[in-house]
Chains A and B, each alone.
Chain A
Amino acid sequence: MSNALAIKRISATPTPPPTIRSSPEYAKLVDIARCIGCKGCEVACKEWNELKVEPTVNFGSYQSHEDLSPDTWLLMRFRETEIDGNLNWLIKKDACLHCEEPGCLYACPAPGAIVQYENGIVDFNQENCIGCQYCVSGCPFDIPRFDKTTKRVYKCNMCIDRVEAGLEPACVKTCPTNAISWGTKDDMLALATGKVETLKERGFANAAVYDPTGVGGVHMMYVVPHGNRLAEYDLPEDPVASPGPIAALGTVKKIGSYLFGFGIVGALLHLLAVGPESPENESGVPGGN
């Protein structure tokens, strides 16, 4: 097994993941301030991953498509908004954030359908997917998309096949303004901090790094110029990996497993204690009624 594919977490598998080697965590950094909205990354994503082209329609936005789909793993979202009397274009590179605590993986009931590699990439193995879509409800960022024909779920895999070969993801490679960077998580955090400082010097007082702690940090971070307007960027303020109902389900399943076990064992012990009860026992005559 190549080190790039060392598995850190694996869905619905009671045994520990196989990896004993460690490898550095990698991350993508999207500097929204540098994005010019060319959507070259969308095209690169389609080309590298050989995803179907989906016709675009004008729905009154600069955006290419209205939403992600099984064939569109990356969508540049554009929101026009007024800030201090000026028109502003809030751009979000909408794709999987590759959470350190992946809500999708925790929700998945199919062994091996979702894995997280040591390098931080969260990948769907469609051949193991059973199509229940629990990952969709488990994702705090609403990223995975269900394909009605194949009945499997798809999303950005961070070009794992490129990363494995030592290359950066296709969107990073193609970005003409270097708005997207690729490197170790530590390097990207350092880069992000510098970028935020620069933005603040330029007057973006609320500039911030988006690396939410509720999901343990992410492997696609953003430098957000207007960090006080996360909702307008369509970025959740406080995403969590396991929301209340999932945690409650985990607890009740644990209790349930014991109750089912006690039920079966209890029935057997009861049988051994008092034996079967039939009319024959009562009358003492076999077959007598």
Chain B
Amino acid sequence: MRANEIQRFTYAERVVHWVVGVTFVFLLLTGLAFSYPKLFWLTSLVGGGAVARVLHPWVGIVFTVGLVFMVVLWIREMFLDRHDVEWLKAIRHYVAHQRDKVPPAGKYNAGQKLFFWVQSVSGVVFLVTGLLLWFPEGFLGLDPFGRGTLSAMRFLHYLATLGCGLFLIVHVYLGTVAYPGTARGMIDGKVTRGWAKLHHPQWHREKTGS
């Protein structure tokens, strides 16, 4: 590691992040294809509608397992505190790149923490509704064929997708083009000190003592 670098993510964290990330993008694209006839062509990317339908739940299982590991790895760092509330109140300035008016963030800012919680809670919704949709003739003795039950499951499954999908757009945008140097933290695990000082000043202080 060079002198101007700080370790941000461990190998395990990076692997888990990409397991969840890659499977989620797969699930999002195939799911959108099932939701929007105009996007059905996306299924051809994975071999057609029937193939997408078969793969979607299995990939969902991998996603869920990844998410469990992610929660285990990160949950202690993700609880929001008073500091985060202040940060959220100043989000307007954060968006406008007025750093001097934004309370200094720790290792994760409140937006990242919220993304974690939206993704985790949605993970439970995805799993429960997804299993019922996967085995509509009855899962674990349940008979969800009461008229409208499965449609309600589709509704909840979509709602969770909407929440996660919107956060994902922001996450990918900020992590790549908007904040150069960020994506690296999820590839080789390192970030520069300058990056840390700019985006996570509180964490920078803790890591460097300066």
Question: Which of A's residues lie within 8 Å of B, judged by CB?
Answer: 12-14, 107, 109-111, 128-134, 136-138, 140, 142, 146, 151, 243-246, 248-249, 252-253, 256-257, 259-260, 263-264, 267, 270-271, 274, 276-280, 282-283, 288-289
Also in contact, A134 and B154, with CB within 8 A (given A244-B148, A260-B165)? yes
* A246 to B49 alpha-carbon distance, docked (Å): 21
Also in contact, A257 and B36, with CB within 8 A (given A243-B147, A252-B159, A277-B198)? yes
CB distance from A58 to the nearest CB of B (A): 24
CB distance from A10 to the nearest CB of B (A): 10
Also in contact, A132 and B34, with CB within 8 A (given A12-B40, A137-B145, A263-B169)? yes
Instruction: Say yes or no: is B166 at the interface (Cβ < 8 Å to chain A).
Output: yes
Instruction: Say yes or no: is B177 at the interface (Cβ < 8 Å to chain A).
Output: yes
Q: Which residues of A contact B180 (CB under 8 A)?
A: 276, 278, 280
Q: Which residues of B contact A278 (CB under 8 A)?
A: 179-181, 195, 198
Q: Which residues of B contact A280 (CB under 8 A)?
A: 180, 194
CB distance from B35 to the nearest CB of A (A): 6
* CB-based nearest B residue for A141: B147
Q: Are A277 and B145 in contact (CB under 8 A)?
A: no
* A289 to B181 alpha-carbon distance, docked (Å): 12
Contact check: which of B54, B158, B192 meets A131 at CB < 8 Å?
B54
Q: Are A128 and B148 in contact (CB under 8 A)?
A: no
Contact check: which of B38, B53, B97, B154 meets A245 at CB < 8 Å?
B154
Also in contact, A253 and B192, with CB within 8 A (given A111-B40, A263-B169)? no
**Supplied contacts A263-B166, A264-B169, A278-B180, 17 more A-B pairs, CB within 8 Å:** A12-B40, A130-B43, A136-B150, A244-B148, A245-B152, A245-B155, A246-B148, A256-B161, A270-B95, A274-B97, A277-B97, A277-B179, A278-B179, A278-B198, A279-B194, A279-B197, A289-B192
Instruction: Say yes or no: is B50 at the interface (Cβ < 8 Å to chain A).
Output: yes
Sample (9) of A-B pairs whose CB atoms are under 8 Å apart: A110-B49, A129-B50, A131-B53, A136-B136, A136-B145, A245-B154, A252-B159, A270-B95, A278-B181
* CB-based nearest B residue for A136: B136
Instruction: Say yes or no: is B137 at the interface (Cβ < 8 Å to chain A).
Output: yes
Q: Are A279 and B37 in contact (CB under 8 A)?
A: no
Q: Which residues of A contact B22 (CB under 8 A)?
A: none
Also in contact, A282 and B169, with CB within 8 A (given A109-B34, A134-B154)? no
* A248 to B195 alpha-carbon distance, docked (Å): 44
CB distance from A199 to the nearest CB of B (A): 30
Contact check: which of A12, A146, A260 meets B137 at CB < 8 Å?
A146
Main secondary structure of the interface of B (DSSP, over half): helix
* A282 to B180 alpha-carbon distance, docked (Å): 13
Instruction: Say yes or no: is B193 at the interface (Cβ < 8 Å to chain A).
Output: yes
CB distance from B156 to the nearest CB of A (A): 9
Q: Are B179 and A140 in contact (CB under 8 A)?
A: no
Instruction: Say yes or no: is B74 at the interface (Cβ < 8 Å to chain A).
Output: no
Instruction: Say yes or no: is B4 at the interface (Cβ < 8 Å to chain A).
Output: yes
Contact check: which of A14, A146, A252 meets B38 at CB < 8 Å?
A14
Q: Which residues of A contact B150 (CB under 8 A)?
A: 134, 136-137
Instruction: Say yes or no: is B58 at the interface (Cβ < 8 Å to chain A).
Output: no
* A282 to B192 alpha-carbon distance, docked (Å): 14
Instruction: Say yes or no: is B7 at the interface (Cβ < 8 Å to chain A).
Output: no
A-B pairs with the 6 shortest C-beta distances?
Answer: A279-B194, A289-B194, A137-B150, A245-B151, A130-B49, A267-B173
Also in contact, A267 and B198, with CB within 8 A (given A132-B53, A289-B4)? no
Q: Which residues of B contact A128 (CB under 8 A)?
A: 49
Q: Are B195 and A279 in contact (CB under 8 A)?
A: yes
Interface centre among A245, A257, A264, by most chain B C-beta atoms within 10 angstroms, is A245
* A139 to B185 alpha-carbon distance, docked (Å): 50
Instruction: Say yes or no: is B27 at the interface (Cβ < 8 Å to chain A).
Output: no
Q: Are A267 and B40 in contact (CB under 8 A)?
A: no
Also in contact, A252 and B162, with CB within 8 A (given A274-B97, A278-B179)? yes
Q: Are A137 and B179 in contact (CB under 8 A)?
A: no
Q: Which residues of B contact A259 (CB under 8 A)?
A: 162, 166
Q: Which residues of A contact B110 (CB under 8 A)?
A: none
